[in-house]
């Protein structure tokens, strides 16, 4: 039996320690190909590049592993991997991350890491986004690695109806894994206002995370607070099915 | 009773005819404030600007209407509108569009138009994204205007549990409104390869839309094919609830 083909990507760029940690884990499981952005792409959501060309360059970053850096967004990386770099080959698993910072709760929709994973899942590829609660570039991923390995093996060898997992990990003292739903939460924005060197006013986005699902034990945020790794099976159908019937009277 | 406060935004930029058409419709319904990107932002998904400052400039584009152009993404526009331009005021409705091109089916996740609407809905604001199947900048929005008015009035005056609608509209000969689910569909990508004037290789994203839900009458794509305006109540919870139980054995 041939080795599984594993695509690795992220949104923090080719030289992020989180990407390196992820490559170190999955290279035990199969043939690894990396296609990652050539610059940090945090907060890029599901953006794609349509009004300009994208560049793709082969690079030597990980010994013995084929790697390409791409000038586009994380979603562009996955599209190029699927349709140019690995054209005509079956990708068995796509892993994205390990992101430096949480993608739990509503962060999933802003996250380049999770959007890359979702794009792969749209192509029918089993896909996992991994994120650590540690925002630091000096984050230590050692405590998380055995769990990353376990979850990748599970996804490779099981038939689960969801082909997209959003995995978030505490920094250390990890108690285990919890399968949960996306917490209802939002960012409360505050813009920092300033004057630039040319005397022009600017606004710089900042904010704080607000969990509106506080006290409910079945969410990803609760699992993380309790020291567990959260796993949210996710999908791309945004239909609000409960509202469908209720809304029907607009048709008259 | 004071007039409703209506925020208008889009992803095609301040001078897109679709934005103008939308302003013309909603100015009948209340006080209108426009915050729109200063350049086209198609395909930006739910991207936000976090690594650089954003500019916001008051402009005179629509007679008697307060309008601002913003250097950021459509989601940035909504954040700035809510937290800077209209700080401390209650926004009764946010409308985004009218987009030049379809945002039906999976397009919702790539769409700046729909991401702006979703961002407003995250703030608890009733929100509607409008898109026309006509991609042309010369699109005629006259046949669509009465329906846009009807849907905005409905949203303003009804209590619906979903505060986010994805509305897509045929170009003309419109038969009416259909409430429906998001079609299962995807983009089949093909990258156009080329050599730039400096001799460097580039890739340019292109592709064709593939409806995988063909023949199912309850989807937005089917409604549009049959000449109806499609209305999909949408949400930001991406949890795949059906897969939750099935996945639980990974916790052991």
Picking from B35, B42, B53, B84 by the largest number of A CB atoms within 10 A of its own CB, the best residue to mutate is: B53
Contact between chains at A46 and B241 (C-beta distance less than 8 A): no
Percent of chain B with pLDDT over 90: 82
Size of interface A-B (CB pairs under 8 A): 236
Picking from A73, A109, A230 by the largest number of B CB atoms within 10 A of its own CB, the best residue to mutate is: A109
Nearest to B106 among A53, A75, A236 (CB): A236
Is the pLDDT at A1 greater than 80? The verdict is: no
Q: With 0-12 CB in 10 A as exposed, 13-18 as middle and 19+ as buried, what is A202? A: middle
Contacts of B191 in chain A (CB under 8 A): 54, 79-80, 83-84
Question: Which residue does chain A place closest to B47, by CA atoms?
Answer: A44
By the CB < 8 Å criterion, does A186 face chain B?
Answer: yes
By the CB < 8 Å criterion, does B45 face chain A?
Answer: yes
Residue that has been written with the tokens 């998904």 in this structure: B45
Q: What is the pLDDT of residue A219?
A: 96
User: What integer is the mean pLDDT of A47-51?
Assistant: 90
Q: What is the dihedral of CA B115, B119, B121, B124, to 10 degrees?
A: 180
List pLDDT tens digits, range B113-172. Answer: 999 999 999 999 999 999 999 999 899 999 999 999 999 999 999 988 889 999 999 998
Helices vs strands, H then E, count in chain B: 7, 11
Is the pLDDT at B1 greater than 70? The verdict is: no
By the CB < 8 Å criterion, does A56 face chain B?
Answer: yes
List pLDDT tens digits, range B187-201. Answer: 888 899 999 999 999
Q: Is the dihedral of CA B240, B245, B246, B251 positive or negative?
A: positive
CA nearest neighbour of B184 among B226, B218, B225: B218
Contact between chains at B55 and A201 (C-beta distance less than 8 A): yes
By the CB < 8 Å criterion, does B13 face chain A?
Answer: no
By the CB < 8 Å criterion, does A88 face chain B?
Answer: no
Q: What is the pLDDT of residue B128?
A: 98
Residue that has been written with the tokens 């991350």 in this structure: A97
Whole-prediction pTM: 0.94
Is the pLDDT at B33 greater than 90? The verdict is: yes
Is the pLDDT at A107 greater than 90? The verdict is: yes
* B222: phi then psi, degrees, rounded to nearest 5: -65, -45
Is the pLDDT at A164 greater than 70? The verdict is: yes
By the CB < 8 Å criterion, does A156 face chain B?
Answer: no
User: What integer is the mean pLDDT of B34-50?
Assistant: 91
The full set of domains in chain A, from first to last, is 5-181+216-244 (3.40.1210.10)
Contact between chains at B160 and A44 (C-beta distance less than 8 A): no
Is the pLDDT at A71 greater than 70? The verdict is: yes
Question: Which residue does chain B place closest to A122, by CA atoms?
Answer: B186
By the CB < 8 Å criterion, does A79 face chain B?
Answer: yes
Asked which of A5-9, A64-68, A137-141, B165-169 is least confident by mean pLDDT, the reply is: A137-141
Average pLDDT, chain A: 94
Quote ipTM for the complex. Answer: 0.91
Q: What is the pLDDT of residue A157?
A: 93
- Residue B99 to chain A, least CA–CA distance (Å): 16
By the CB < 8 Å criterion, does B44 face chain A?
Answer: yes
Cis ω before A77 (30° cut-off from 0): no
List pLDDT tens digits, range A195-217. Answer: 999 999 999 999 888 889 988 99
Q: What is the pLDDT of residue A190?
A: 87
By the CB < 8 Å criterion, does A75 face chain B?
Answer: yes
User: What integer is the mean pLDDT of B188-215?
Assistant: 90
- Residue B136 to chain A, least CA–CA distance (Å): 16
Q: How confident is the model at residue A233 (pLDDT cuts 50, 70, 90)?
A: very high
Q: Which of residues 114-133 of B touch A (CB under 8 A)?
A: 115, 118, 122-123
Cis ω before B173 (30° cut-off from 0): no
Q: What is the pLDDT of residue A188?
A: 87
Residues 6 or more apart whose Cβ sits within 8 Å of residue A78? A7, A9, A35, A94, A116, A119, A120, A123
Q: What is the pLDDT of residue A7?
A: 98
* B139: phi then psi, degrees, rounded to nearest 5: -55, 145
User: What integer is the mean pLDDT of A107-116?
Assistant: 95
C-alpha gyration radius of chain A? 19
Average pLDDT, chain B: 94
- Residue B85 to chain A, least CA–CA distance (Å): 11
- Residue A73 to chain B, least CA–CA distance (Å): 10
Q: What is the pLDDT of residue B189?
A: 84
Asked which of A54-63, A165-174, B182-191 is least confident by mean pLDDT, the reply is: B182-191
Nearest to A233 among B190, B201, B243 (CB): B243
By the CB < 8 Å criterion, does B177 face chain A?
Answer: yes
């Amino acid at each position: 039996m041939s080795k599984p083909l594993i695509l690795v990507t992220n949104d923090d760029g080719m030289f992020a320690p989180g990407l390196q940690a992820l490559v170190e884990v999955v290279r035990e499981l199969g043939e690894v190909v990396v296609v990652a952005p050539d610059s940090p792409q945090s907060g890029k959501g599901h953006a794609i590049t349509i009004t300009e060309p994208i560049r793709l360059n082969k690079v030597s970053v990980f010994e013995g592993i084929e790697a390409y850096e791409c000038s586009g967004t994380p979603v562009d990386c996955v599209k190029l991997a699927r349709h140019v770099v690995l054209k005509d080959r079956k990708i068995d698993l796509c892993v994205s991350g390990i992101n430096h910072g949480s993608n739990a709760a509503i962060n999933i929709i802003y996250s380049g890491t999770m959007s890359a994973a979702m794009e792969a899942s749209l192509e029918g590829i089993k896909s996992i986004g991994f994120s650590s609660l540690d925002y630091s570039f000096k984050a230590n991923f050692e405590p998380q690695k055995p769990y990353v390995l376990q979850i990748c093996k599970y996804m490779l060898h099981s038939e689960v109806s969801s082909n997209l997992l959003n995995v978030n990990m505490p920094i250390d003292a990890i108690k285990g894994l919890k399968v949960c739903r996306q917490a209802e939460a939002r960012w409360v924005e505050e813009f920092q206002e300033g004057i630039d060197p040319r005397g022009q006013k600017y606004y710089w986005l900042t904010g704080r995370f607000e969990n509106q699902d506080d006290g409910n034990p079945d969410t990803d945020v609760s699992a993380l607070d309790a020291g567990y790794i959260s796993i949210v099976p996710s999908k791309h159908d945004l239909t609000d099915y409960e509202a469908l019937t209720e809304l029907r009277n607009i048709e008259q």
